[in-house]
Amino acid sequence: MVLRRPLRTHHGRPQRGYGRAPAPAHRPADRDLAADNRYQIRVDGAPAGFTEFRDRDAQRVFIHTEISEAFQGKGLSSVLIERALTHTREEGKRIVPVCPAVARYLAKHDGLTDITDPVDRDVLTWLAAGR
């Protein structure tokens, strides 16, 4: 017979360590700008997701974020986006959130409004031209 700790909940959700496996350890977003203009996040060495961008002068235009299905629901997109936006600030660039996931993150975290530019027609035309 295997004894398990009782399931403990908080607001109806199981809590880590009580009847639930611990969340996997994840590495901060890796940046490989030269190869493919994306920030990546890995879990136990396996690629778990990425956010893709294009640099436009002093702007970093975030165009797509994707988390692999096996890793969804673990908060990895927030970790990935936070790291990518922090690095963008460190590089002295401004954020343009074309990607809906990045836009949602920015709507919930107002600490980056000072370096966020709106998505405008010029940016969309520039992206459509394939730059």
The domain that holds 98 is classified in CATH as: 3.40.630.30
Domain contains 33: yes
The predicted pLDDT at position 2 comes to 43
Domain contains 4: no
- pTM for the full predicted model: 0.74
The predicted pLDDT at position 108 comes to 94
The predicted pLDDT at position 79 comes to 92
The predicted pLDDT at position 25 comes to 54
Structure tokens at 18: 């009580």
Domain contains 27: yes
What's the rounded Cα separation, in Å, for the pair 7 and 76?
24
The predicted pLDDT at position 11 comes to 53
Please choose, from the candidates 16, 99, 14, the residue with its C-alpha nearest in 3D space to the C-alpha of residue 53: 99
Strand residue runs (E) in the chain: 9-10, 13-14, 30-32, 38-43, 46-56, 59-67, 94-97
Domain contains 86: yes
Task: Give the domain extent around 79.
Answer: 23-122
Domain contains 48: yes
Domain contains 94: yes
Q: How many domains does the chain have?
A: 1
Domain contains 10: no
The predicted pLDDT at position 110 comes to 85
Q: Which residues of the chain have pLDDT under 50?
A: 1-8, 17-22, 28, 32-34
Domain contains 40: yes
